[in-house]
Amino acid sequence: MKPAPFDYLRANTTQDALDALAQHGEDARVLAGGQSLMAVLNMRLAQPQLLVDISRTGELDTIRVERDGFLAVGAAVTQGSVEWRATLRDEVPLLALAFPHISHFQIRNRGTVCGSVAHADPSAELPLVLTALGGDVTLRSHRRVRTVAASDFFQGMLMTAREPDELVESVRFPLKKPGERFGFAECSARHGDFAMVACAAVVTDDAIRIAVGGVADRPVAERWPRLAGDDLRGALNDLSWKLGAQDDAHISATYRRHLVRQLGWRVIEEAK
Amino acid sequence: MNDGLCRRDGRQRIALTLNGRERSGFCEPRDLLSDFLRHELGATGTHVGCEHGVCGACTVQIDGVAARSCLMLAVQADGRRVDTVEGLADGDALSDLQQAFQRHHALQCGFCTAGILMSCADWLRRVPDPSEDEVREMLSGHLCRCTGYTPIVAAVLDVAARRRHAVAATERADA
């Protein structure tokens, strides 16, 4: 339960990190909060040659409200510092609803928002929120800077559009627009455990957007008209089958579909 | 430690402020902060359980913020303030939080206690008037196999109430 040996680079600037990623590519791993990566290293499930530590890279530790309607969170920003932001409930209410479900207070204090997005666990809450809101991810390398929509960024279990020389520099959550209302719910074995199923909803006067995590190999979002009653139950049932739920050691595919129908209903009703 | 690259087989000297005192020691890049505290600095009050962030036994404070010392490298603590359970008491006088744990029998074997105390000390500064649900949610980041948590919850609520009363009494005296 100790990591295998690796070289360690403390990146003082974004440029330091990009230089290292350009040189070492897949042999390097970015260490931000380390709340997933360090556990993986301790169990030796990953044995990178080089860790590029960005946790103290000041220029990546920034939260900005952008004029075009986004909350932009830099790569070194901890989940805790977003969660305890006094204005979060007005800016991105869905994030405020989701944070209490993300692991524990002690983990959120150090875990980063971008790190969770880059890790791309299909049951993780932050990729789900980013997908539900239609946010995006900014990737920077020596070669280019590009912005990728959440729906294109998440490509499978722990798989993303990030190239080996790219750094997830920031993620952007759309700010709440007038008339939008939100719901979030998840089911896990114990509080703070990985979600069996998690659902997020954004409801306006004429539309419903629902996103589901923990079932498919990535978070999945759908946009519906403002359904109600049996129409809504039917749509949720269709969605529950479409996600390709599978049996695993903890719960059955049948129960996962049940949770999609139940939690989906709950978050949409909560948001209406 | 010099900024920049540390080679895997190189031993780095790092310096940190442990419970208010400047301390330094040597580590390899892969050494965990939890092991550095215990083995290099001899601060064995911090306990090590699962080593993947689940049990909470190794929780310390980094610059005043509760975090797992098993999910942090020792080199990352260079130049920072680290507080552990050894720093809570003032000499032989237990802190109010420790006294509350004693009053409520909030520990039996004590293995998880150091981490829980360090979490509570940070959290109560931010949430001075918590509900029982909030306390239980915060404690969900710690595993205790002895107490069943009920006395721990009681201790945390008790110390929070006493601190609020103390503040109220001070404000009345000032008025």
Q: Give the pLDDT mean for A132-149.
A: 98
Percentage above 90 pLDDT, chain B = 94
The CATH number of whichever domain residue A238 belongs to comes to: 3.30.390.50
Q: What confidence score (pLDDT) does residue B174 get?
A: 84
Let me know whether A194 and A217 are in one domain. Answer: yes
**Which of A156, A174, A192 is the last residue in one of the domains?**
A174
**Which of A152, A174, A196 is the last residue in one of the domains?**
A174
User: Which chain A residue has its CA at the smallest distance from B116's CA?
Assistant: A106
Of B4, B8, B65, the CB nearest to A5: B8
> Distance between CA B69 and CA B43 in Å, rounded?
12
- Model confidence pTM above 0.90: yes
**Residue contact A106–B72, C-beta within 8 A:** no
Let me know whether A30 and A46 are in one domain. Answer: yes
User: Which chain B residue has its CA at the smallest distance from A11's CA?
Assistant: B4
Let me know whether A214 and A198 are in one domain. Answer: yes
* Residues in CB range of B173: below 8 A, 6 or more apart: none
Determine, yes or no, domain membership for A226. Answer: yes
Determine, yes or no, domain membership for A229. Answer: yes
Instruction: Give the minimum alpha-carbon distance from A229 to chain B in angstroms, rounded to a whole number.
Output: 33
Q: Give the pLDDT mean for A183-190.
A: 95
Determine, yes or no, domain membership for A58. Answer: no
The CATH number of whichever domain residue A46 belongs to comes to: 3.30.43.10
Residues in A closer than 8 angstroms to B123, CB to CB, are 105
Q: Write out the residue range of the structural domain in which residue A122 sits.
A: 63-174
> Distance between CA A96 and CA B23 in Å, rounded?
39
pLDDT (tens digit, 9 = 90+) per residue, A75-106? Answer: 999 999 999 999 999 999 999 999 999 999 99
Domains by residue range for chain B, with CATH: 12-87 (3.10.20.30), 96-174 (1.10.150.120)
User: Which chain B residue has its CA at the smallest distance from A106's CA?
Assistant: B67
Let me know whether A204 and A124 are in one domain. Answer: no
Task: Enumerate residues 18 to 77 of chain A having a beta carbon within 8 A of any beta carbon in chain B.
Answer: 31, 34-35, 38-39, 41-43, 51, 53, 55-56
Q: What confidence score (pLDDT) does residue B68 get?
A: 98
Let me know whether A168 and A67 are in one domain. Answer: yes
Determine, yes or no, domain membership for A1. Answer: no
| A185 phi, psi to nearest 5 deg | -155, 150
**Which of A121, A146, A174 is the last residue in one of the domains?**
A174
Residue B2's pLDDT band (cuts 50, 70, 90)? very low
User: Which chain A residue has its CA at the smallest distance from B6's CA?
Assistant: A8
Q: Is the pLDDT of residue A235 over 70?
A: yes
> What ipTM was reported for this prediction?
0.93
Q: Give the pLDDT mean for A235-257.
A: 96
> Distance between CA B70 and CA B73 in Å, rounded?
8
In chain A, at which residue ranges do the beta strands (DSSP E only) sit?
A: 7-10, 28-31, 50-53, 63-66, 70-74, 136-140, 145-149, 154-156, 159-160, 167-174, 181-187, 197-203, 207-213, 220-225
Determine, yes or no, domain membership for A159. Answer: yes
Q: Is the pLDDT of residue B158 over 90?
A: yes
Let me know whether A190 and A237 are in one domain. Answer: yes
pLDDT (tens digit, 9 = 90+) per residue, A149-171? Answer: 999 999 999 999 999 999 999 99
The chain-wide mean pLDDT, for chain A, equals: 97
Let me know whether A33 and A108 are in one domain. Answer: no
Let me know whether A168 and A68 are in one domain. Answer: yes
Let me know whether A80 and A48 are in one domain. Answer: no
Let me know whether A78 and A132 are in one domain. Answer: yes
Q: What confidence score (pLDDT) does residue B3 get?
A: 59
Determine, yes or no, domain membership for A2. Answer: no
Let me know whether A67 and A163 are in one domain. Answer: yes
Determine, yes or no, domain membership for A77. Answer: yes
Q: Is residue A86 less than 8 Å (CB to CB) from chain B? A: no
For the four alpha carbons of A228, A231, A237 and A240, in that order, the dihedral sign comes to negative
Let me know whether A45 and A11 are in one domain. Answer: yes
Residues in B closer than 8 angstroms to A31, CB to CB, are 73
Burial of residue A131 (number of CB atoms within 10 Å: 0-12, 13-18, 19+): buried
pLDDT (tens digit, 9 = 90+) per residue, B20-59? Answer: 999 999 999 999 999 999 999 999 999 999 999 999 999 9
Q: Is the pLDDT of residue B166 over 80?
A: yes
**Residue contact B8–A34, C-beta within 8 A:** no
Indicate the number of domains in chain A: 3
Determine, yes or no, domain membership for A147. Answer: yes
Mutate to test the interface with B, among A41, A47, A106, A191 (most CBs of B within 10 A): A106
